[in-house]
Structure 1
Amino acid sequence: MSTTDRVQSAERRLWRAYEPIHAICYFHPHFAATMNETGLTGWWNGYFAGRAAPLGPTPSQVVTSLFYGFSPAMVDRAVPKIWTRVSPEAAIEARFDAAETVLAEHADAGSLDDLHRVTDGLERAIDALPFDGRALASAWHSVRRPDSILQRLWLAATILREHRGDGHVIAATANGLTGLEASITHIASGQVSRRIIQENRGWTDEQWQIAHLALRERGILADDDSLTTRGTALRDRIEDLTDQLAAPSVHALNDAAGTIDVLTSLARLLVDRGAVPVPNPIGVPRP
């Protein structure tokens, strides 16, 4: 499957539509401010607490495994310390409160009926999904659905995002990549810079160089740090398998095309108004 065909697949179009809705929690300052109000300061502390909260006070090794691309040392600095300063339940509520505020700021009043209908459909689809091997998605699926439609929408986008993310980890590990190696091949594809990824994932220069050399020895990276033909084929296999594993998300929707259209309209507003910057460290595109 070519890159163009893959971008136009229903699975990928759905991802591009819901990912910015979820990703406001990483980029809009109101999320960090709301987490600070719980007593948990420090952006990365808030990130790990907010994303890992449904797992409960899980050891750092588990969070490192599920988050995949972060250095163990970076996770160790936050987990489990964060749970001495905020409860998982408070971290979840802080995310819900922030999602309500941010989405209310950007969702047009006239679109609320469409968002309500789409959210109902997303929730029905999510309840029909298989969660085998999807620990992070399953954890978020276990969270009680709030009453607010905008909070419900954010939660649905989050579950779908983590469901696809868990599948992406499965695809990458099945193709023999560690979290760091997957990040390096992502950089080699030209979609993000080393500076952004290394700073945001906590890897040392020595760790980076060891993984980089291993990828060269396997014929995945060329001398100029671009992907070789073999490396490009590897990335394509991973992306194709990620889409295949995400296919149930589309198949479970009664109106996939209509759902994508409604979510895309909101997602574009979030990007165009700066709630989610593009480009960004996690590769969220403008739909």
Structure 2
Amino acid sequence: MTAQPLLARRLWEAVEPLHAVVYFAPEPAEAAREVGLKGYWMGYFAGRLSAVGPVGAGVGSALCFAFAPGKVARALPDAWSFATAEAVLESRLAAVEKMLGRLLKPLRPSELDQLTGLLEALVDTCDFDGRALAAAWADVPRPDSLLVRLWLAATVLREHRGDGHVMALAREGLGGLAAGITHVAAGAVTRESIQGSRGWTDEEWELGSAKLRRKGLLDAEGGLTPAGQELRTRVEADTDRLASHAVIRAEAATTAIALAAPVSRALLTSGALPPVNPIGLPRPS
């Protein structure tokens, strides 16, 4: 792996927990309920897509690529009958401020200011062509709150990488179900965490696995064949390459990683993020 894609991978590992804690902390879930949304997953999809606008199930499934369309359809477009996208976005950002105010108390203001400025500078180098979800979050005006600015910058960077990951998967002919199955087969995550959270039924999972076996990508035990391993290696390499826009300013990226990694490690150690999760997030080095 060349220097820029490797740096892009390290940036994701260091910054992802700063974004992903929003899915596990109580404050965002409480904010979703208070604004009128029904249940965790309606809050998840409406909150994640609030920057895009009041999209329906089809667009929501395309943007939240790994999820079963039926799971998305149970939340969208119904969510927008309970709360507008603008209200959901406002409540989410307010919850982020409370959440990070609680979780990042040990962080010195000077470190917070430096890290936030660096991540925003990296966002400014990103190319958003074909990256609808990242572009939508990049369009959210930067607020006055330093904590929310930090989360927003981390969010844009992770969705930029995520949109690129979808491009890499689609290039290899992998849909959301096949992506999940091969992710599990690669040993990065458990079937329970992926299938349960993403909403695929046992029948869908088995049919998807059978299709991948016919293609020579899965073996009889559900592991990756050599061809499957090569495919997943290409996907991850392409994902890193496509994320390299974010680390064009290598010195700023390196400093951001050095500042973000210990914060993210602390979030993982504290239990703010579960050690086993469907993201397959490694502990930042």
- TM-score normalized with structure 2 length: 0.95
CA distance, structure 2, for counterparts of residue 146 and residue 211 of structure 1: 43
Contact 1:140–1:158, Cα closer than 8 Å, also in 2 = yes
2-structure distance, mates of 1:205, 1:128: 42
Aligned partner of 2:141 among 116, 130, 144: 144
Which residue of structure 2 lines up, in the alignment, with residue 283 of structure 1? 280
C-alpha distance in structure 1 between counterparts of 2:30 and 2:282, whole Å: 25
Q: CA RMSD in A?
A: 1.6
C-alpha contact (below 8 Å) 1:45/1:78 kept by paired residues = yes
The 8 Å contact of residues 30 and 102 in structure 1, kept in 2 or not, is answered as yes
Aligned to 1:26: 23
Look up the SS of the partner of 1:195 in the other structure: helix
Give the match's secondary structure for 1:9: helix
Q: Kindly indicate whether residue 87 of structure 2 is the aligned counterpart of residue 90 of structure 1.
A: yes
Tell whether the 8 Å contact from 2:7 to 2:247 is kept in structure 1 after alignment. yes
1:174 aligned partner: 171
2:266 alignment counterpart: 269
Structure 2 residue ranges without an equivalent (≥5) = none
Mark the CA change 1:72 to 1:116 in structure 2 (over 3 Å): closer, same or farther: same
In the TM superposition, what is the alpha-carbon distance from 1:218 to its structure 2 partner? 0.7
Number of the residue aligned with 1:124 = 121
Matched, 1:61 2:61: no
- Give the Cα–Cα distance (whole angstroms) in 2 for the partners of residues 33 and 240 of structure 1: 38
1:255 to 249, 252, 256: 252
Q: What CA deviation, in whole Å up to 9, does each residue of 1:197-226 have, x standing for no partner?
A: 111111122221221111001110011111
1:110 to partner: Cα distance: 5.0
**What is the distance in 2 between the residues matched to 1:41 and 1:253?**
43
Q: How does 1:198-277 map to 2 (within 5 A)?
A: 198-252=195-249, 254-277=251-274
Give, in whole Å, the separation in 1 of the partners of 2:275 and 2:106: 25
TM-score (norm 1): 0.94
Work out the CA distance in 1 between the residues paired with 2:257 and 2:193. 29
Residues 156-171 of structure 1 mapped to structure 2, 5 A cutoff: 156-171=153-168
- The one-letter code matched in structure 1 to 2:126 is L
8 Å CA contact 2:57, 2:77 repeated in 1:
yes
Q: Is the Cα contact below 8 Å between 2:122 and 2:253 reproduced in 1?
A: no
Give, as a single letter, the amino acid of the residue that structure 2 aligns with 1:177.
L
Mapped to 2, the partners of 1:244 and 1:111 lie a distance apart of 33
- Overall identity of the aligned pairs, in %: 47
Letter in 1 for 2:117: D
**Preserved contact between residue 279 and residue 285 of structure 1 (Cα < 8 Å):** no
Report if aligned partners of 1:271, 1:277 keep a CA contact under 8 Å in 2.
yes
- How many equivalent pairs are there? 283
